């Protein structure tokens, strides 16, 4: 089999190597990591979904100061509104965790989650971001046309063949096929029909999507090294997306306690949970998840659950208490390295891939 490490995806994105950094929303100070991956020849991605438009623009400016290479910004593209039914019941359980952290009890009976999507997208257009990727759904047709008219490439995260076909028909330039091994939130479009997400492993998902679309497919989910890259290419993908692999890197903005928890974890450490955000996401089991599961209380839908748990997650971060943080992680954590430079991670991946292909 003639497998080439330089693929059509590299030409489309104008990058040297088919390695994409996942856009990991909610992590602070990630501009350095985004730029480092791009400078190493891959495509760095900023997780911009939770950023205010002002902070998003600031982060983009920082990335541009650190690299002249292409990069991407990931946003959540989904039409959701707050659901405050049962909020008293949910807050009652969350207050027990607030006691553990020594923070104020919540008595609020309704929340209003901020949604800056339109303003965020406007910032991406104004800043001529080379690539825009989306999770949870596709960009509206008018926005896709606006972006593509300025030369911006569009990528969508998908978890099924049907979602991939929709993404291609909408005009996306590439697709990320996210297997159930992936850490954090995956891009399942409709969680009303798949409450815990579409859980198809990457080995099964990628070739089926490749067989049904003409645009490049990027494999994601538990891919950590050159073996995963070569396997993905053999399955028909034209690149890989990695998030967890770079979380413990030197440039990662992840909390140091989070990095330590990742390094101590194994392939058995994670579960898919809706406890933190109301959408299924894979993370390391801790007291928050165990408490929530034992309570038997159903989380509120996204984004409401995400909004009302934020004070707990922020407090636990300030206290370096990983028991109440959302420790998003994929299933390949035994292959993580401790505070390794992102450039060296990329080099190591490529060297292993070349050795397997030679």
pLDDT tens digits, one per residue of 191-210? 988 899 999 999 999 999 99
Tokens for 273, please give them: 């949970």
DSSP string, 277-321: TSS-EEEE--HHHHHHHHHTPPPPPTTHHHHHTHHHHHHHHHTT-
Q: Is the pTM of this model over 0.85?
A: yes
pLDDT tens digits, one per residue of 225-263? 999 999 999 999 999 999 999 999 999 999 999 999 999
Which range has the worst mean pLDDT, 1-5, 112-116, 137-141, 274-278?
1-5
Average pLDDT, the chain: 96
- Residues 45, 71: contact at Cβ < 8 Å? yes
DSSP string, 196-241: T-----HHHHHHHHHTT-SS-EEEESS--SHHHHHHHHHTT-SEEE
Inform me whether the pLDDT recorded for 293 exceeds 80. yes
The predicted structure's pLDDT at residue 1? 57
pLDDT tens digits, one per residue of 18-72? 999 999 999 999 999 999 999 999 999 999 999 999 999 999 999 999 999 999 9
Inform me whether the pLDDT recorded for 13 exceeds 90. yes
Q: Which of 182, 216, 186, 217 is nearest to 201 (CA)?
A: 182
- Residues 44, 71: contact at Cβ < 8 Å? yes
- Residues 217, 164: contact at Cβ < 8 Å? yes
Integer CA distances (angstroms), 217 to 7, 34, 277, 286, in order: 11, 21, 28, 34
The predicted structure's pLDDT at residue 15? 98
The predicted structure's pLDDT at residue 248? 98
Instruction: Give the mean pLDDT of 280-295.
Output: 98
The predicted structure's pLDDT at residue 180? 98
As a whole-number percent, the residues of the chain with pLDDT over 70 amount to: 99
Inform me whether the pLDDT recorded for 315 exceeds 80. yes
- Residues 2, 27: contact at Cβ < 8 Å? no
pLDDT tens digits, one per residue of 98-119? 999 999 999 777 899 989 999 9
Band (pLDDT 50/70/90 cuts) for residue 78 is confident
As a whole-number percent, the residues of the chain with pLDDT over 90 amount to: 94
Q: Is 258 helix (H, G, I), strand (E, B) or coil?
A: helix
- Residues 168, 154: contact at Cβ < 8 Å? no
- Containing 153, the helix (H) or strand (E) segment is strand 153-158
Instruction: Give the mean pLDDT of 299-328.
Output: 97
- Matching residue, tokens 């891939």: 353
Residue partners of 194: CB distance under 8 A and separation at least 6? 188
pLDDT tens digits, one per residue of 119-154? 999 999 999 999 999 999 999 999 999 999 999 999
Q: Which of 166, 81, 172 is nearest to 134 (CA)?
A: 172
Strand-pairing partners, residue 134, are 75, 156
Alpha carbons 248 and 259: distance in angstroms, whole number: 5
Alpha carbons 251 and 154: distance in angstroms, whole number: 26
Strand-pairing partners, residue 19, are 240
């Amino acid at each position: 089999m003639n497998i080439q490490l330089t693929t059509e995806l590299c030409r489309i994105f104008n990058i040297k190597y088919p390695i994409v950094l996942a856009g990991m929303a909610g992590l602070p100070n990630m501009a350095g990591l985004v730029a480092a991956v791009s400078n190493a020849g891959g495509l760095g991605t900023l997780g911009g979904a939770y950023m205010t438009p002002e902070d998003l623009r600031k982060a983009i400016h920082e990335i541009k100061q650190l690299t002249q290479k292409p990069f991407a910004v990931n946003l959540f593209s989904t039409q959701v509104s707050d659901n405050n039914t049962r909020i008293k019941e949910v807050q009652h359980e969350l207050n027990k965790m607030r006691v553990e952290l020594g923070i104020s009890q919540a008595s609020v009976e309704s929340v209003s989650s901020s949604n800056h999507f339109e303003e965020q997208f406007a910032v991406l257009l104004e800043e001529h971001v080379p690539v825009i990727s989306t999770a949870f759904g596709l960009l509206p047709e008018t926005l896709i046309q606006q972006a593509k008219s300025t030369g911006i490439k569009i990528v969508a995260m998908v978890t099924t063949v049907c979602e991939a076909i929709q993404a291609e028909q909408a005009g996306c330039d590439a697709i990320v096929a996210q297997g159930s091994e992936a850490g954090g939130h995956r891009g399942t479009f409709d969680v009303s029909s798949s409450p815990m997400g579409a859980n198809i492993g990457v080995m099964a998902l990628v070739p089926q999507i490749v067989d049904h679309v003409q645009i490049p497919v990027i494999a994601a989910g538990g891919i950590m090294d050159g073996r995963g890259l070569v396997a993905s290419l053999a399955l028909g993908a034209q690149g890989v997306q990695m998030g967890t692999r770079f979380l413990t890197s030197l440039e990662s903005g992840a909390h140091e306690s989070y990095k330590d928890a990742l390094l101590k974890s194994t392939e058995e450490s994670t579960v898919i949970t809706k406890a933190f955000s109301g959408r299924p996401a894979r993370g390391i089991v801790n007291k928050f998840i165990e408490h929530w599961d034992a309570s038997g209380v159903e989380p509120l839908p996204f984004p409401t659950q995400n909004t009302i748990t934020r004070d707990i997650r922020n407090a636990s971060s300030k206290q370096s208490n990983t028991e109440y943080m959302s420790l998003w992680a994929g299933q390949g954590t035994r292959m993580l390295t401790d505070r390794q430079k992102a450039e060296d991670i990329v080099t190591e991946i490529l060297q292993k891939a070349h050795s397997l292909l030679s």
